[in-house]
Amino acid sequence: METNDIQGDAEFSADERDAVYKCIFNRRDVRGQFLPDPIPDQVLARLLTAAHHAPSVGFMQPWDFIVVRDSAIKQRVRDSFQAANLEAAGMFEDEKQKTYRQLKLEGIVEAPIGICITCDRSRTGAVGLGRTHQADMDLYSAVCAVQNLWLAARVENIGVGWVSIIRHDDLRGALGIPPSIQPIAYLCVGYVTHFLRKPELETAGWLPRMPLSDVVWIDRWHAREASDPLLQCL
């Protein structure tokens, strides 16, 4: 092992640590606060670079990034969302449906940029390191790229919203994505008027934030001692 192979600036300071936690806690799914201000290409390049440095199974890097600026294409994506969202609303019952119909769930047209992140499942051939026993690891790698981009955007004071109420084939149609390529996320990306303190679905009473202590177990599923010192720290 040569010294050159080791990270020289490996240690993080308390300030650096706090910055990362602030980013994680202040990240929001943005739907309604987009400004039309353009994102400078240098900034957008930083977001894409962050996404490209996500972990990937077998160092496969299965992602592509389609940066959507064209307003006609954004409108087509929006139309596909609208069709899916009408169907979706009908699936919820009574009060829940009433709440659902009042939620703003996307900012596709308002956001100056869309970014579609995809997964090319055959990028590195038929057999992939780390995918021999868990075939979906390539999809998960592309999701990690989404999360990296989302966090990088937050520290650039840029909002991101993930639109999932849309058929993959509609997204393929709007963006010319071939059938062999799996769309992972369509993201609305732009500067914002403000970031909300809490997730919008929490504020709207859709679901509460679960106590972390409800979902932490020791050694085995649903096992733990109430006196476990880790649980006292949650």
**Binding to a copy of itself, residues 156-195 (CB under 8 A):** 156-157, 162, 164-168, 175-178, 181, 184-185, 194-195
Please answer whether residues 140 and 152 qualify as being in contact, where contact means their C-beta atoms are separated by less than 8 angstroms: no
- Of residues 39 through 78, those in contact with a copy of itself by CB under 8 A are 41-42, 44-46, 48-50, 52-55, 57-61, 63-70, 73
* In the block, residue with structure tokens 């979906």: 136
CB of 162 to a copy of itself, least distance (A): 7
Cα 27 from Cα 30, distance rounded (Å): 9
Toward a copy of itself, which CB reaches closer, 42 or 226?
A: 42
Rule CB under 8 A: say whether 109 interacts with a copy of itself.
no
Rule CB under 8 A: say whether 218 interacts with a copy of itself.
yes
Please answer whether residues 51 and 152 qualify as being in contact, where contact means their C-beta atoms are separated by less than 8 angstroms: yes
Question: What is the DSSP secondary-structure string of 76-89?
Answer: HHHHHHHHHHHHHH
Rule CB under 8 A: say whether 4 interacts with a copy of itself.
yes
Looking at the DSSP bridge assignments, the partners of residue 188 are: 114, 161
* In the block, residue with structure tokens 């650096």: 16
CB of 157 to a copy of itself, least distance (A): 6
Binding mask 118-157 for a copy of itself (x = CB under 8 A): x-----x--x-xxxxxx-xx-xx--xx-xxx-xxx-xxxx
- Of residues 13 through 42, those in contact with a copy of itself by CB under 8 A are 15-17, 19-27, 29, 41-42
Which 3 state secondary structure label does DSSP give 102? helix
Toward a copy of itself, which CB reaches closer, 36 or 232?
A: 232
Total Cβ atoms within 10 A of residue 35: 14
Please answer whether residues 7 and 1 qualify as being in contact, where contact means their C-beta atoms are separated by less than 8 angstroms: no
Candidates 95, 179, 215, 226; binder of a copy of itself (CB under 8 A) is 215
Rule CB under 8 A: say whether 233 interacts with a copy of itself.
yes
Which 3 state secondary structure label does DSSP give 116? strand
